[in-house]
Amino acid sequence: MSKVKNLIVGCGFSGATLARKIVQERKEKVVIIDIKDHIAGNCYDYRDNNGICIHKYGTHIFHTNLKPVWDFVSRFTKWYPYQHKVKGLVGGQLVPIPFNLNSLHQVFPKSLANEIELCLLEKFGFNKKVPILELRKTNDKDLTFLAEYIYQKIFLEYTLKQWGMKPEDMDPAVSGRVPIYISRDDRYFQDKYQGIPIEGYTGLVLKMLDHPNIEIKLSTVFSKEMEYERLFYSGPIDEFFEYKLGELPYRSIKLDFLEFPYSKFQEAAVINYPCNYDFTRIGEYKWFLNNKSDKTVVSYEYPEEFKIGKNERYYPIVKEESQTLYNKYLELAKGTPNIYFLGRLGDYKYYDMDKAVERAFNLFEEI
């Protein structure tokens, strides 16, 4: 490869957003490479033989309160106005997840549910989100009872399966993602903008990269022999530095896709199984774009430890020790001129898709 002006490693939302910003606003050429044989990173999706849009790396729902992000991404897609709802098997019943007032009244006797609801409203108010670990710290006996119930029935075993550690050992930024909602809103997200790209995430990213100054090279491994003026690296930062300070820990997922001869397999797009089975959840894909078929496709998710060469990095394990190690790599990065890191792997952060786009925005402004 001859010397390029801007080399971007990674064809997911982070890299694609940055590529588009550079060619459109700086009028410069970009080469974007990816080790995978497709664009869109872990958001990659495709239509199967049944016409169902399958998310190859597990279920993805775009949601944001960031209007600049929504406006930018909407230039490359029309949206199916999907509102995500999740249910969990709790005490033999499928109840709304995260746990909310509807869940409360479904699992407890009426008198007890009314009493606990009143306590929640008096303590926190209506339409509030309270992290489970914060709820456990209250002194009220009813709230302590509720906190322990949710902790044991929903939070503890799911976290052990998903992360391989107890909630108390995790960074609050991650554990805080699982609150109780003091409301009747059953949606998993309450963001103003939510949806699924009508032509899929792959179609969205393809349009984002559709520019004469963007060259795409797939099935291409980054090499330090490549010549560039600026490098934007959304791959693993520890891998870039050849693990000289040690490996950053990640969790991975094994996805087991199954096809069934049913019009629908389950009563929501995603069903969580906190205390039952070894998998954490089952996703059913035809819900997202309301695909019509006499068959359906689901994926069972089995979290597992990430091992180099065996599986994919999915989630950074954000805790004090790993953050300290990442900060050391960040110091190394500061000594490498014209090389910038971004994305979930480059920044070692648990990014939703909209936050990955926002991060690319901010990095573009920096340069």
| CB atoms near residue 267 (< 10 Å) | 11
Segment 190-230, tens digit of pLDDT = 999 999 999 999 999 999 999 999 999 999 999 999 999 99
Residue 228: φ, ψ to 5°: -155, 160
- 35 and 162 part of one domain: no
- 207 and 330 part of one domain: yes
Question: What number of CA atoms fall less than 13 Å from residue 106's CA on the CB side?
Answer: 18
Residue the block writes with tokens 């950053």:
248
Helix (H) or strand (E) holding 198: none
pLDDT for the residue numbered 1? 62
pLDDT above 90 (res 102):
yes
pLDDT above 90 (res 327):
yes
Residue where a domain stops, chosen among 134, 156, 182: 182
- 221 and 127 part of one domain: no
Residue where a domain stops, chosen among 133, 160, 182: 182
Q: Which domain, by its residues, includes 230? A: 4-83+193-248+316-366
Q: Predicted confidence band at 350 (pLDDT cuts at 50, 70, 90)? A: confident
- 139 and 73 part of one domain: no
Q: Is residue 268 part of a domain?
A: no
Residue 248 near residue 322 (C-beta atoms within 8 A): yes
Q: Is residue 229 part of a domain?
A: yes
pLDDT above 70 (res 34):
yes
- Residue 91 is classified by DSSP as T
Q: Is residue 23 part of a domain?
A: yes
Query: If you average pLDDT over residues 285-310, what whole number do you get?
Result: 97
- 113 and 170 part of one domain: yes
- 79 and 120 part of one domain: no
| CB atoms near residue 365 (< 10 Å) | 8
What is the count of structural domains for the chain? Answer: 2
- 353 and 223 part of one domain: yes
Q: Is residue 130 part of a domain?
A: yes
Q: Is residue 235 part of a domain?
A: yes
pLDDT above 60 (res 177):
no
pLDDT above 70 (res 18):
yes
| CATH at residue 328 | 3.40.50.720
Q: Is residue 324 part of a domain?
A: yes
- 150 and 226 part of one domain: no
pLDDT above 70 (res 173):
no
Q: Is residue 89 part of a domain?
A: no
Helix (H) or strand (E) holding 80: strand 79-80
Q: Predicted confidence band at 175 (pLDDT cuts at 50, 70, 90)? A: low
Helix (H) or strand (E) holding 72: helix 67-74
Segment 109-168, tens digit of pLDDT = 999 999 999 999 999 999 999 987 788 888 889 999 999 999 899 988 999 999 998 877
pLDDT for the residue numbered 174? 63
pLDDT above 80 (res 172):
no
Nearest alpha-carbon partner for 130 in 163, 166, 99, 94? 99
User: What end-to-end distance do the CA atoms of the chain give, in Å?
Assistant: 24
- 220 and 176 part of one domain: no
Rounded (10°) angle between helices 67-74 and 353-366: 100
Q: Predicted confidence band at 318 (pLDDT cuts at 50, 70, 90)? A: confident
Nearest alpha-carbon partner for 15 in 307, 223, 218? 218
Q: What is the pTM of this model?
A: 0.94
Residue where a domain stops, chosen among 156, 182, 208: 182
- 238 and 335 part of one domain: yes
C-alpha 351/C-alpha 249 separation (Å) is: 16
Q: Is residue 294 part of a domain?
A: no
pLDDT for the residue numbered 155? 87
Segment 56-95, tens digit of pLDDT = 999 999 999 999 999 999 999 999 999 999 999 999 999 9
- 60 and 206 part of one domain: yes
What is the bridge-based pairing of β-strands 45-47 and 228-233? unpaired
- 77 and 199 part of one domain: yes
**Tokens standing for 350?**
């648990």
Average pLDDT over the chain, rounded to an integer: 95
Can you list the alpha helix ranges (DSSP code H) found in 79-129?
101-107, 110-124
